[in-house]
Amino acid sequence: MADGWKEVVTEEEAIEFLKLICHSEYESNLENRALIRTILTDIQSLNRPAKTESESSQPSQPRSKQLSLLLKVLNEVHVA
């Protein structure tokens, strides 16, 4: 990376990273796999369009804590 320049990981990239880990041969612990699936479900539910007019008039839901933490970690480490 160039001096002073920091690459930013997008939400989409973070979600793809979680999916990769979830289906990876490196992730054999079932408890961890279940946690990753829970996080993915949580993140995907935040991205679903509103089903009713009352839902669409509400302010958009805040980013999940899990997604915020994942983005923070991925942006602070070099992921090759």
Q: Domain limits at 19?
A: 11-48+60-76
Residue 5 is assigned to a structural domain of this protein = no
Residue 2 is assigned to a structural domain of this protein = no
Q: What is the 3-state secondary structure (H, E, C) of the chain?
A: CCCCCCCCCCHHHHHHHHHHHHCCCCCCCHHHHHHHHHHHHHHHHHHCCCCCHHHHHCCCCCCCHHHHHHHHHHHHCCCC
Question: Residue 15 has what pLDDT?
Answer: 81
pTM of the entire predicted model:
0.49
Question: Residue 2 has what pLDDT?
Answer: 47
Residue 64 is assigned to a structural domain of this protein = yes
Give pLDDT tens digits along the chain (80 positions): 445 556 688 888 888 887 777 777 655 566 667 777 777 787 777 666 656 655 555 444 556 777 777 777 777 765 54
Domain count, the chain: 1
